[in-house]
Structure 1
Amino acid sequence: MPLVTSKELFKKAYEGGYAIGAFNVNNMEIIQGIVEAAKEENSPLILQVSAGARKYARPVYLKKLVEAAVEDTGLPVVLHLDHGESFEICKACIDDGFTSVMIDGSKLPFEENITLTKKVVDYAHEHGVVVEAELGRIGGVEDNISVGEREATFTDPDQALEFVERTGVDSLAIAIGTSHGAYKFKGEPYLDFKRLEEIMKRLPGFPLVLHGASTVLPEFVEACNKYGGSIHSAKGVPEEMLRKAASLGICKINIDTDLRLAMTAMIRKYLAENPSEFDPRKYLGAAREAIKEMVKHKIRNVLGSSNKL
């Protein structure tokens, strides 16, 4: 099965009240863990490549690894560019075979964001590729994205309607309280569900996206710290909030930090318990298994996308 776009997947997700997991990938073990989980859960899947991943692994390696995963599993997989910073980057990924791209003009004034997004949409649609954009700013730090709390602004529902109508974008990442990285909330977790409902009223049936949606699972934070790490005060989005968001029209939920924590926790644990071991296949194999089990949990208990193929 070839790579697919998210168009039909999002339509089914919206109608079914579930979300599709968009997992960031950086190497072979991460990709294998994610796709093996999706295969066992019979779940649709989005694999996405960030600026940091492109710099670390180079796009051609990641694309070939994703193609291998599709060939190995037969899953319908979307290959998505996460946080494309410019038209040129989006164009390069479209030309290279990505089936979905995100143009992130959220840091720009509203009119400039529309102009940039429309330019990407026009080129992408000519090549059968779908486009995600962002309106409002999501806080936190991830890869080369850093937005302070004072800068982070929630998405305006009226602007969301105008933005979608004028750009022709296929999906929209909105800001309702999530943030990038492992330190999402200083106080009690909060998502503005009333704002989400207002956006949905203006854009019925339109797929919305939630970035910065890792749960920061305590067991992985604890394991990291137990085996030599120093990750303190980390706090993510509670799973019940993500389930509610999926039921209200969020069709795509981005997950990256939880992958990193699962991988790091198991590598630390394995090396601490096996100090004489130096075979990367051993500790990376343990990390791959941890990612697989974590993604299965997300698919089954958070996203609700099990058995949706």
Structure 2
Amino acid sequence: MYVSTKEILNKASKEFYAVPAFNINNLEFLMKIIEGAVEKNAPVIIETSEGAIKYAGNGDIYRGARLFVKMVREFAETVNIPIALHLDHGKHMEFIAAAIRAGYSSVMIDASHEPFKENLKITKEVVKWAHASGISVEAELGQLAGIEDNVSAEKNVLIDPEEAKIFVEETGVDFLAPAIGTSHGAFKFKGEAKLDFERLKRVKELTGIPLVLHGASSVPEKYVKLAEEFEANLGGAKGVPAEEIKKCVKLGINKVNTDTDLRIAFVAGLRKHLKENPKEFDPRKYFKEGMNFVKEVVMDRLEFLGAAGKA
């Protein structure tokens, strides 16, 4: 079932669990994410970045957005779980317009790099625009350090809970991504993860809407080790431990973005298969092991976030 992201997340917020949002760039990732969600009888959110849209459309962002909607709808309408399609980190209005016109379930306006008042102003306009088409909106307050696709920042700027209350009330945004100490990419922390749980708790109390955790890949050690066994260079990769994410869910996180974990799992399987099968040149075959690892990651996330069985 192709549904509104707001529908999925409002239910998660009321029942105190989180739904993973998985980034895709191609058909193979989409298939395995949905397979895993169906097996776990769980709702799931598919995400595309601006870069993914441009890639899929071979430079034409409107074609790329339409292609993703058609792919996701085709799968969603043949399975009995709720599936939504979300634009992740929309920083440019033309990409947000392309997603809205194509029929995405929701869009993110990421103006977190702007001063508070400008972020509020921009977000308010996007909310007005998207809501007119029945599309829900995510925004971000504070900034996450790290690099991922078109997102880049040198340091974390944590959210101010009082500003979050004003922001939500004035913009009418449907869900909010608060910066509480996570980072984008595979190299999140030099030491132990340090998330500001009290800040998160306060934001939930003051806003009352579904909250989103960005930069939340766990970077599973077994896939990092496997990839490195087959000559990948991922030394120092470190994510957010599953137990820390579970704490965030208990305090009000309802959507957890995941991209890096899928990429590392896939590249581990791909490198392994190509090394062990040097004569293989059929992508349907040499993708298979990596895609099975992607499915494992998907099913694990659905379980520990509490989304399994919630379809």
Fold similarity call, TM over 0.5: yes
Hey, what's the Cα distance between the residues in 1 that align with 2:301 and 2:181? Answer: 20
CA shift, 1:200, in A, is 1.6
Aligned length in residues: 304
Q: 1:161 aligns with which of 146, 158, 165?
A: 165
Hey, what's the Cα distance between the residues in 2 that align with 1:236 and 1:177? Answer: 12
Hey, what's the Cα distance between the residues in 1 that align with 2:154 and 2:231? Answer: 29
Hey, what's the Cα distance between the residues in 2 that align with 1:83 and 1:272? Answer: 35
Counterpart amino acid of 1:154?
L
Hey, what's the Cα distance between the residues in 2 that align with 1:180 and 1:272? Answer: 30
Alpha carbons 1:94, 1:129 under 8 Å: kept: yes
Q: 2:287 is paired with a residue of what secondary structure?
A: helix
Give the TM-score normalised by the residue count of structure 2.
Answer: 0.95
* Structure 2: 5+ residue stretches without partners: 58-63
1:138 aligns with 2:144: yes
Counterpart amino acid of 2:237?
A
Look up the match of 2:61.
none
* Structure 1: 5+ residue stretches without partners: none
Q: 1:93 aligns with which of 99, 113, 117?
A: 99
Alpha carbons 2:100, 2:130 under 8 Å: kept: yes
Hey, what's the Cα distance between the residues in 2 that align with 1:57 and 1:248? Answer: 36
Look up the match of 1:29.
28
Look up the match of 1:202.
206
Q: 1:138 is paired with a residue of what secondary structure?
A: coil
Hey, what's the Cα distance between the residues in 1 that align with 2:300 and 2:94? Answer: 37
Hey, what's the Cα distance between the residues in 2 that align with 1:203 and 1:67? Answer: 32
Q: How does 1:236-247 map to 2 (within 5 A)?
A: 236-247=239-250
Q: How does 1:120-139 map to 2 (within 5 A)?
A: 120-139=126-145
Look up the match of 2:60.
none
| Deviations 1:150-178, CA, capped at 9 Å, x for gaps | xx200000000010011000000010011
Q: How does 1:14-93 map to 2 (within 5 A)?
A: 14-58=13-57, 59=64, 60-93=66-99
Counterpart amino acid of 1:201?
E
Alpha carbons 2:50, 2:95 under 8 Å: kept: no
CA shift, 1:303, in A, is 1.0
Give the TM-score normalised by the residue count of structure 1.
Answer: 0.96
Hey, what's the Cα distance between the residues in 2 that align with 1:97 and 1:6? Answer: 12
Q: 1:179 is paired with a residue of what secondary structure?
A: coil
Q: How does 1:150-189 map to 2 (within 5 A)?
A: 152-189=156-193
Q: 2:266 aligns with which of 263, 268, 293?
A: 263
| Deviations 1:271-291, CA, capped at 9 Å, x for gaps | 111112111111112222111
Hey, what's the Cα distance between the residues in 2 that align with 1:164 and 1:292? Answer: 35
Hey, what's the Cα distance between the residues in 2 that align with 1:170 and 1:114? Answer: 14
CA shift, 1:293, in A, is 1.4
Counterpart amino acid of 2:277?
N
CA shift, 1:222, in A, is 0.6
| Deviations 1:187-218, CA, capped at 9 Å, x for gaps | 111110011111122123x1110001000000
Poorly superposed stretches of 4+, deviation over 3 Å: none
Q: RMSD of the alignment, in Å? A: 1.1
1:216 aligns with 2:219: yes
Q: Which moved more, 1:71-80 or 1:161-170?
A: 71-80
| Deviations 1:11-32, CA, capped at 9 Å, x for gaps | 2211221101100011111001
Q: 2:88 is paired with a residue of what secondary structure?
A: strand
1:114 aligns with 2:114: no
CA shift, 1:64, in A, is 2.2
1:308 aligns with 2:307: no
